[in-house]
A = this chain, B = another copy of it.
Amino acid sequence: MTLLELLDFASVFVFALTGALVASRAQLDIVGFAFVAALTATGGGTVRDVILDRNPVFWVAEPMFVAIAVLASVLVFFTAHMFESRLRVLTWLDALALAVAVPAGTGVAMTLGHSAAIVLLMGVATGCLGGLMRDVVCNEVPLVLKQGELYVTAALAGAAAALLTAQAAPQSVALVACAVVTFVLRAGSLLFGWRLPVYRSRPPRR
């Protein structure tokens, strides 16, 4: 298995865990868990593959990806009650999923020979869109748009780190650098409140 395939598998598994956790907050049945898990796990990569006209889409080529998402949802269905704070577990699993999905998207775009701009955008899209679909469908406030936290920024910085590292090192090193930078920035934001200045309007007159 190549590093890229491993990243795709890991991204599907961990994003599926987050989807199942959101399903548990909505008190769905086990098929509902699997549905939300599969949507979350495959959403970002599907958009990436459709936009890059990569054919077939990764999980059509290898349905084992969906089986892994279903497995993750079964796991969560029977264990989620053990966690004291599901929201906390969800947030951290989502950070981990982001840190594997961004290099997965970045790596695919690099391998297809796309320009730096498209590599950056595919890293961000693959990392952010699955979780965004999960939150929109389940009517949660999207993690990706949560005020005062680094999320898209972490994805963007990770993809940029991959591009820079790839100038001087093999692609596998670049993808690891991408994962590390993404996770450190997201984790730092959650733990230490790292953030960019947010927009604040003057109090509008009306």
Binding site for B on A (CB under 8 A): 23-24, 26-36, 38, 46, 50-53, 55-57, 60, 63, 66-67, 77, 80-81, 83-86, 114-115, 117-118, 121, 124, 128, 132, 136-139, 141-142, 144-145, 147-148, 150-153, 156, 195-202, 204-206
Residues of B with C-beta under 8 A to A36: 145
In contact, B30 and A206 (Cβ under 8 angstroms): no
Choose among B50, B85, B199, B202 the residue that contacts A33 (Cβ–Cβ < 8 A). Answer: B199
Residues of B with C-beta under 8 A to A141: 139
Choose among B51, B136, B204 the residue that contacts A86 (Cβ–Cβ < 8 A). Answer: B204
A63 to B36, CA, bound (A): 32
A137 to B151, CA, bound (A): 15
A89 to B26, CA, bound (A): 25
When all copies of this chain in the complex are counted, the total is 3
In contact, A195 and B67 (Cβ under 8 angstroms): no
In contact, B51 and A57 (Cβ under 8 angstroms): yes
In contact, A29 and B86 (Cβ under 8 angstroms): no
Q: What are 25 A-B pairs with beta-carbon distances under 8 A?
A: A23-B199, A24-B199, A24-B201, A26-B145, A27-B198, A28-B145, A28-B198, A29-B153, A31-B152, A31-B153, A31-B196, A32-B145, A33-B199, A35-B128, A35-B144, A52-B56, A63-B121, A77-B199, A80-B199, A81-B201, A84-B205, A86-B201, A137-B142, A137-B145, A138-B145
Q: A26-B147, A29-B195, A52-B56 are in contact. List 8 more A-B contacts (CB 8 A).
A: A23-B199, A28-B147, A29-B196, A30-B199, A31-B152, A60-B114, A66-B117, A137-B145
Residues of B with C-beta under 8 A to A35: 124, 128, 144-145, 152
Expressed in whole angstroms, the minimum distance between the Cβ of A166 and any Cβ of chain B is 18
A89 to B205, CA, bound (A): 14
A83 to B205, CA, bound (A): 9
